[in-house]
Structure 1
Amino acid sequence: MRYALIGLLLLLGAGAIYFFSQSDEGGESDPVAQVTPDAGPPQRTNVMVPELEIPEEEPDAGQPDTGPPEEETAMSTMRRRPRECTGNIDPSAIRQVVARQNPQVRACYERRLKVNNILQGTVNVRLRIGSDGSVDSVRVGGSLRDNEVFGCVRRLAQSWRFPSVDGNCVEVSVPFNLTPRP
């Protein structure tokens, strides 16, 4: 009995499908929906979407911390740099060395300017110059905010040679203002 009832329902369903498909062939066509032309993306109603705030990058801190100081030995005291620089150097000598190095610093900047054409700002180079005129340490920071330029300038500055210092060492700060050339 159950199978007879299922068969009857299937027969009625097939007949209904046949009936409705025959009535559509009467020559009447389906109504065509009118489509309006695309007006583009939907308009936003809010004026401004808040952006994420990116914190300012800390200036380069120089060499990483190497841990606690070594035990006092004859060799370790010879390698240590003095904590305070008490030396003097002629400012015109610093300007002269920096002027000679300016094209190389500019080349570091120009290389990155090809990647980011709106790159501009100041690169501050803080140097510790030893008594023999060699650069003992370099710190680089500034408003330019490009680590590749900072790294390039740091590598250059480590090789700069200055006149001998009167005293143990001297610390100087050298700013480079870098903007695209017209």
Structure 2
Amino acid sequence: MGGLIFWKLRGSDEKPVASVQPPPPATTPQVFEQPPPPPPPPPPPEEDAGKKPAGKVVGVGGGGCAGECKGTAGATLQSALAAKAGAARGCYERGLRQNATLQGKLVISVRVGPGGQVCSAGVASNALGDPGVASCVVGLFRSASFPAPEGGCVDTQVPMNFVPKGGGK
């Protein structure tokens, strides 16, 4: 009981504590991020595209890839084209993962220059019906280099018949 009296007597000597309010939040100016700078403009494709073939035609001599091709695909060139067609199976296998029933014939037309360089490659016919596989195969031929044809440049077609393994016709 003595503690209660002490506290009561002691409490009257204390001054009331004034309540302190926190200062109002300072308004900070909004910071806006600057947009990133625009990307640099791409190089003009017409100039680059025009220079490269012109350089190839001038450097090869003997007519290059321009005009009519009168050469013939000798045995070594035919063998190399067949090997590249075999490598195209990888493109088909990727397409087969997307469509398990994918099968059909794809014919690629290729123009090989007098030095063995590929002047052009494209789809002659696509009974396979998958543009992704066709594009992949054309890319393989365009990036290839072959043995020189006999007698100048040559236009040839490479037929490929794609069927799932174990289900050949």
The TM-score with structure 2 as length reference comes to 0.57
Matched AA of 2:147: P
Q: Do 2:118 and 2:144's aligned partners in 1 also have CA atoms closer than 8 Å? A: yes
Mapped to 2, the partners of 1:94 and 1:145 lie a distance apart of 28
Q: 1:82-115 deviations in whole A, cap 9, x for unaligned? A: 221011231x223321343244200100101111
Whether 1:153 and 2:119 are equivalent positions in the alignment is: no
1:9-28 equivalent positions in 2, closer than 5 A:
none
Give unpaired runs (5+ residues) of structure 2: 1-45
Whether 1:89 and 2:70 are equivalent positions in the alignment is: no
Q: CA deviation at 1:124?
A: 0.3
Which of 76, 81, 91 is residue 98 of structure 1 equivalent to? Answer: 81
Using a 3 Å threshold, how does the CA distance of structure 1 residues 94 and 78 change in structure 2: closer, same or farther?
Answer: closer
Using a 3 Å threshold, how does the CA distance of structure 1 residues 162 and 135 change in structure 2: closer, same or farther?
Answer: same
Whether 1:108 and 2:105 are equivalent positions in the alignment is: no
Please identify runs of 4+ aligned residues in structure 1 that moved more than 6 A. none
Using a 3 Å threshold, how does the CA distance of structure 1 residues 171 and 147 change in structure 2: closer, same or farther?
Answer: same
Matched AA of 2:134: F
Mapped to 1, the partners of 2:78 and 2:71 lie a distance apart of 17
Please name the residue that 2:162 is paired with. 178
Please name the residue that 2:116 is paired with. 133
Mapped to 2, the partners of 1:86 and 1:99 lie a distance apart of 21
Q: Do 2:77 and 2:149's aligned partners in 1 also have CA atoms closer than 8 Å? A: no
Give unpaired runs (5+ residues) of structure 1: 1-65
Which of 103, 125, 143 is residue 127 of structure 2 equivalent to? Answer: 143
Using a 3 Å threshold, how does the CA distance of structure 1 residues 99 and 89 change in structure 2: closer, same or farther?
Answer: closer
Q: Which moved more, 1:77-86 or 1:155-164?
A: 77-86
Could you say what secondary structure the match of 1:114 adopts? helix
Q: Which moved more, 1:101-110 or 1:151-160?
A: 101-110
Mapped to 1, the partners of 2:68 and 2:85 lie a distance apart of 28
Mapped to 2, the partners of 1:148 and 1:88 lie a distance apart of 30
Q: CA deviation at 1:78?
A: 3.5
Identity %: 34
Mapped to 2, the partners of 1:102 and 1:136 lie a distance apart of 17
Q: CA deviation at 1:177?
A: 0.4
Q: CA deviation at 1:162?
A: 1.9
| Aligned residues between the structures | 110
